[in-house]
Structure 1
């Protein structure tokens, strides 16, 4: 297969021999299993154009799950997987004391789905909100793929023999989304991997991220102008302030609840202050990821 040999050589030049061999193996397996007639040649050509491998293959491991991924919804990252599993160990709901969970900017649904899969059946009712219809469709498809029950209606917190996850299309920048989606706070756990990349950082992202993944899931200050890029306003903190105000003003967090927010590696101090001053949460912890970078602000009353 001379064409494949040439493509593999090109892939090696682009990625290095070791990565090229591994990715080629995965693409070959995906092509053999594809029900869409996608050829290996097409997959390699897409990869050479810079498209993320996960979009080409169509799946991404996340903890014990194998999630569907589709452009432009954000691809789940290993650092998000790491802190989700830590949270699953920290919080221990039971069928006798079930909890409710709200995941804002849910994307593929990776965070609540892994928690639903890890915690005991009947211990959590989870909701995921996102502004992207593509993301909500993907989250719903992932719930079906993972065997997590999706209720047909939004309902109050109730006990059952299984965990549930309800993906909902909504804009968390509009505080009325709580009412319009018929959500019933307070929630025992609030999670979010919100947009937090600054525009300066965005310009330096790899093309595989910048050109393929949804900008709305990346840019932390979406309304900032070009003239403000060099100012203190470009810090990627908009969505943390939104979440803090929802907690303080909308009563969405239970008195003994916990908030887990993924952050950029330089944002821990700023996000901690926002949660304290604007969210009125006085217990702040910072978790590092496996690469020793600040990755999560954990906030409680």
Structure 2
């Protein structure tokens, strides 16, 4: 009886916010996600009550149900995990794979890789400019059962992969800062570098619906941020949402972030793949560059190798 009353109360609360029919469907999905999480992903809440409370406050349902990238991001991250396994097999030293995720957000890309790769075979670091994002990524690692190194600092080249767990650390740092590598406490080179950076041109951001602007941090969306020191962009690349790709290419070039046989994977926006491939070839001297399409045949990720 108590459970029935609690369920009725939750339904009534959610119905007032989104309507009765939608509330019924969403409550069912919430319970299913908690009872039987889909393989390889993690619920972002521990109870239906928490989910309903967040939904009433206006949080999008997909953020509440699971920690999961968008389907197109999940697709390429899983493909990348296959490449990472090949890299593991080719390592001549008994050490874990080192992964660096720039603009990590919720941490969904490195956490998906860590959940997919064998236990003890990889350590990942996620970097973000947002304190909320860094905190959320760490919480999500905990929800996924992925541990943090005891001293809170990953040591990608010092751990045996025989008996330890995969680990993740999120770090607060500004990718655009001139001293970024030191401030982020990076330990290059990394075997895998990933990023789904902000790439929306300002003119497109201005046309986004209010629900997106009101919930998403503008720093996570706009690809040409105003009011910060930016890398030098050729005239042809200005106002196209490509600033972060130029910066990442510069960091790879100037600080040897990527290992000799490493892989760099960058998600891109619609129509940006060829421009990003040209940036990596021109600025970072990357020569083996592929463009992967998503399940909907959009050019979605640029994958480059040293």
The gaps in structure 1 that reach 5 residues or longer are: 63-75, 226-230
The residue that corresponds to 1:282 in the other structure is 287
Would you say 1:262 and 2:262 are equivalent positions? no
The residue that corresponds to 1:159 in the other structure is 159
- For residues 244-292 of structure 1, what are the alpha-carbon distances to aligned partners after superposition, in whole Å with 9 as ceiling and x for unaligned? 0001111111111110000002101110000000111011100111111
- Could you tell me how far apart the structure 1 residues matched to 2:114 and 2:51 are? 35
| The one of 207, 210, 219 aligned to 1:204 | 207
Q: State the Cα distance separating 1:39 from its structure 2 match.
A: 8.9
Asked if the contact 2:223/2:243 (under 8 Å) is kept, the reply is yes
Asked if the contact 2:291/2:303 (under 8 Å) is kept, the reply is yes
RMSD across aligned positions (CA)? 3.3
The residue that corresponds to 2:304 in the other structure is 299
- Could you tell me how far apart the structure 1 residues matched to 2:290 and 2:81 are? 16
- Could you tell me how far apart the structure 1 residues matched to 2:54 and 2:246 are? 41
- Could you tell me how far apart the structure 2 residues matched to 1:292 and 1:277 are? 26
Would you say 1:54 and 2:62 are equivalent positions? yes
Q: Matched residue of 2:194: which SS?
A: strand
| The one of 181, 186, 190 aligned to 2:189 | 186
Aligned residue pairs total 273
| The one of 105, 114, 117 aligned to 2:115 | 117
Q: State the Cα distance separating 1:20 from its structure 2 match.
A: 6.7
Q: Matched residue of 1:117: which SS?
A: helix
- For residues 190-242 of structure 1, what are the alpha-carbon distances to aligned partners after superposition, in whole Å with 9 as ceiling and x for unaligned? 000100011121122233322101110110001289xxxxx962100000000
The residue that corresponds to 1:244 in the other structure is 249
The residue that corresponds to 2:104 in the other structure is 106
Asked if the contact 1:106/1:128 (under 8 Å) is kept, the reply is yes
TM-score if structure 2 supplies the norm length? Answer: 0.78
Q: Matched residue of 1:211: which SS?
A: helix
> Taking structure 1 as reference, are residues 232 and 182 closer, same or farther at Cα in structure 2, changes over 3 Å only?
closer
- For residues 16-62 of structure 1, what are the alpha-carbon distances to aligned partners after superposition, in whole Å with 9 as ceiling and x for unaligned? x7x7753353357799997695695x667545xxx41235xx34242
- Could you tell me how far apart the structure 1 residues matched to 2:281 and 2:270 are? 19
Asked if the contact 2:31/2:48 (under 8 Å) is kept, the reply is no
- Could you tell me how far apart the structure 2 residues matched to 1:80 and 1:122 are? 24
Structure 1 window deviating more from structure 2 (235-244 vs 93-102): it is 93-102
- Could you tell me how far apart the structure 1 residues matched to 2:264 and 2:305 are? 6
TM-score if structure 1 supplies the norm length? Answer: 0.79
Q: State the Cα distance separating 1:11 from its structure 2 match.
A: 4.5
- Could you tell me how far apart the structure 1 residues matched to 2:113 and 2:260 are? 21
